[in-house]
Structure 1
Amino acid sequence: MKKCLLFIMLLGSFHCAYAQQRPQYTQYIFNNFILNPAISGIENYIDVKAGYRSQWQGLEGAPETSYISFHAPLGKNFLYGTSTSVPQSGGTNPNSRSYVQTYMASEPHHGIGFHVVSDKAGPISRTDVNATYAYHLGLSASVNLSLGVAAGLSKIYLDQSKIILENQIDPAIGSGDYGQLKPDLSAGLWLYGPRYFVGAAAQQLIASPISFSDDESYNQGRKVPHMFISAGYKVYLGDDFAAMPSAMVKVVSPVPVSVDVNLKLAYKDKLWMGASYRKDDALSAMAGFNIGSFINLGYSYDFTTSGLNTVSNGSHEIVLGVFLNNRYKVSCPQKSW
């Protein structure tokens, strides 16, 4: 067990210094807002999400992530207008072709949001708190563009009690500052219409140093930028069914580029299932459902395909969504699906 703890400690230290520092999500397609602030206020209701991810089950000290987020549009013209082409009592199934025929670009409006993310990996834990803002405008009758920013704080903490050292006096740790507050800044853009989206976001734009040692020669770690590029397209398979292939490329220097490919199949606005492939990491199965115009729920399970598959029992992730102030009785997201 000591070897396992030491391995996780070293992995966590590398993770914090130069590797991927943001949490991994399988169901990011269900809540792209957690990655891209430009999505703030994209729908005409208050979108609330809560998520939990347990990664690499069976491996001691493996990452655990939880978050809560919400975002909403501002402006009465957007809330009461025809920006989603849906009458107040509900209306066109967003999976149907008729929705494309009547789709209208959003009225220019502002969106705001907020999210808190807690991530733990081995002896290192991190909490990110960010407020977001976005501006949406219609470029044409059916094309929308939004630009967004997020700003906040990151608290990074090293739990020394979870570290087992051969030499109790280790200059790499010393009596260092085990709880640190760092500024955080992100930006993104989102181009979207009734059948597609293309987005790009950059997180951790402020490269703050991260160190836990009194010895300056060991203080080489810092927050590094994370780039996310994503795109998706809706293919109609009849009035009741739709397929939504999507992909995301994640760039975090100097580690290899990460590529996710997804396929989501939806039945009306009630049920969906899908699959995902993450290069050199995992295969995933996903499913979810919507309950009326108030709640939706998604679950995914990752089958580990990397070298950790000999000690990992896979990863679980669950996301609960709630639609508040849903005046149009929308039962399925129509701008971000």
Structure 2
Amino acid sequence: MKGFLIALLFLLALYNAQGQQDPQYTQYMYNTQIVNPAYAGSREVMSIGVLGRTQWLSLEGAPQTGTFTLNSPIGVSKNMGLGLSIIYDQIGPATESNAIVDYSYSIQLARHNISKLSFGLKAGIDLLDVDYTKLNIYDPNDPFFQNTVDNKLQPQVGAGIYYHTQKFYAGFSVPNFMNSTHFDEGSLNDADLESIAVERLHYFFITGYVFDLSSNLKFKPATMVKFVSGSPLQWDMSANFLINEKVALGASYRWNSSISAMAGFQISPSMFLGVAYDYDSTSIKDYNSGSYEALLRFDLFHKTDKVLTPRFF
């Protein structure tokens, strides 16, 4: 049964490879750099983020995701941003790793509300490794399983645009323009795998706003829409209440997929901790205990930096 579950998850992942290929995140409003390079440097300080996600807990071989981001404004006028994004994603016997450099250029549109429009580029590499020994293969002579995938290298190039004020943001991006193939079709004895092994373009739209309900209570709705050719539209909607600029409590809904509870804690002016729990609303809920996600963000201030108005995204 163990090998069967791992094999089933892996084959389902391959079957859906035309659709949702990139990892999904519940706390997307705090992890924007992963999908949009124009975000790099927008916090106006060096910012470091670490995220870990365990999906479908108790289901062996289920997705495990980790990300690391680093970005900072650069240049004399700090109108450029430079960042690094690292993504580690594992499902069953397949492990995918990405290392990406992010660059942004910003134009200040208005000084009175700190309104900026940023353009971004990202470029990097993708490494795929598949260990077939983790599978309980029904037919050892199946040509699909005769070719081990060992650190196959693929390039990644993406772009994005990002607009923000102190209370509003919106962005559109394509993290990877490359229609990469993960398998050599010709080496699989004419097995037709091209349709299930091609990276499709992912289009992301994100937006959010901060409403002041009182002097110590803010309301932060946000949404992310992801479109991939050959897959249903993915739409995430979230709402957080920020109390005393210290504690954020909220919920999120992923259309026809899951509902989530979220909490965030501003531990210090430079440290933020976020946690989330997802409950599946699909039939797979009967086979797992939900999904968990944790995020830690550090903003590194210089001694001369003064945060006149805090950033909430």
Q: TM-score range by the shorter chain?
A: over 0.9
* Corresponding residue of 1:113: 83
Return the match for 2:110 from 119, 137, 140. 140
The whole-number CA distance in structure 2 between the counterparts of 1:294 and 1:331 is 14
Letter in 1 for 2:23: P
Letter in 2 for 1:33: Q
Q: 1:188 aligned to 2:160?
A: yes
Given the superposition, is the C-alpha separation of residues 226 and 239 from structure 1 closer, same or farther in structure 2, using an over 3 Å criterion?
same
Q: 1:75 aligned to 2:85?
A: no
The whole-number CA distance in structure 1 between the counterparts of 2:36 and 2:172 is 7
Letter in 2 for 1:52: G
Given the superposition, is the C-alpha separation of residues 174 and 188 from structure 1 closer, same or farther in structure 2, using an over 3 Å criterion?
same
The whole-number CA distance in structure 2 between the counterparts of 1:70 and 1:129 is 12
Larger CA deviation: 49-58 vs 291-300 = 291-300
Q: 1:37 aligned to 2:37?
A: yes
The whole-number CA distance in structure 2 between the counterparts of 1:331 and 1:36 is 26
Contact 2:100–2:122 (Cα < 8 Å) also in 1: yes
CA deviation after TM superposition for structure 1 residue 3, in Å: 3.0
* Corresponding residue of 2:21: 21
Contact 1:43–1:333 (Cα < 8 Å) also in 2: no
The whole-number CA distance in structure 2 between the counterparts of 1:211 and 1:164 is 21
* Corresponding residue of 1:203: 175
The whole-number CA distance in structure 1 between the counterparts of 2:69 and 2:10 is 29
Give 1 or 2: higher strand fraction. 2
CA deviation after TM superposition for structure 1 residue 219, in Å: 3.7
Contact 1:290–1:332 (Cα < 8 Å) also in 2: no
Contact 2:257–2:281 (Cα < 8 Å) also in 1: yes
Give CA deviations for 1:87-131 in whole Å, capped at 9, x if unaligned. Answer: xxxxxxxxxxxxxxxxxxxxxx10000011000011111001000
- TM-score w.r.t. the length of structure 2 is 0.92
* Corresponding residue of 2:292: 316
CA deviation after TM superposition for structure 1 residue 174, in Å: 1.9
The whole-number CA distance in structure 1 between the counterparts of 2:275 and 2:308 is 18
Contact 2:4–2:135 (Cα < 8 Å) also in 1: no
Contact 1:9–1:163 (Cα < 8 Å) also in 2: no
CA deviation after TM superposition for structure 1 residue 293, in Å: 2.0
The whole-number CA distance in structure 1 between the counterparts of 2:308 and 2:138 is 57
Q: 1:123 aligned to 2:124?
A: no
Structure 1: runs of 5 or more not aligned: 79-108
The whole-number CA distance in structure 2 between the counterparts of 1:185 and 1:329 is 35
Secondary structure in structure 1 of the residue aligned to 2:6: helix
Give CA deviations for 1:153-212 in whole Å, capped at 9, x if unaligned. Answer: 000111111122111011123234433100001110011112211110112201111116
CA deviation after TM superposition for structure 1 residue 68, in Å: 0.9
Contact 1:172–1:212 (Cα < 8 Å) also in 2: no
Q: 1:159 aligned to 2:131?
A: yes
Structure 2: runs of 5 or more not aligned: none
Given the superposition, is the C-alpha separation of residues 136 and 126 from structure 1 closer, same or farther in structure 2, using an over 3 Å criterion?
same
The whole-number CA distance in structure 1 between the counterparts of 2:69 and 2:310 is 16
Contact 2:259–2:281 (Cα < 8 Å) also in 1: yes
Q: 1:281 aligned to 2:282?
A: no
The whole-number CA distance in structure 2 between the counterparts of 1:275 and 1:308 is 21
The whole-number CA distance in structure 1 between the counterparts of 2:182 and 2:77 is 45
Given the superposition, is the C-alpha separation of residues 22 and 315 from structure 1 closer, same or farther in structure 2, using an over 3 Å criterion?
same
CA deviation after TM superposition for structure 1 residue 268, in Å: 2.9
Letter in 1 for 2:192: Y
The whole-number CA distance in structure 2 between the counterparts of 1:249 and 1:54 is 22
Given the superposition, is the C-alpha separation of residues 292 and 326 from structure 1 closer, same or farther in structure 2, using an over 3 Å criterion?
farther
CA deviation after TM superposition for structure 1 residue 46, in Å: 0.5
Query: How many equivalent pairs are there?
Result: 305
Seq. identity, %? 30
- TM-score w.r.t. the length of structure 1 is 0.86
The whole-number CA distance in structure 1 between the counterparts of 2:258 and 2:206 is 18
The whole-number CA distance in structure 1 between the counterparts of 2:31 and 2:149 is 34
The whole-number CA distance in structure 2 between the counterparts of 1:274 and 1:247 is 13
* Corresponding residue of 1:224: 200
Contact 2:159–2:176 (Cα < 8 Å) also in 1: no
* Corresponding residue of 2:270: 294
Larger CA deviation: 208-217 vs 276-285 = 208-217
CA deviation after TM superposition for structure 1 residue 291, in Å: 2.1
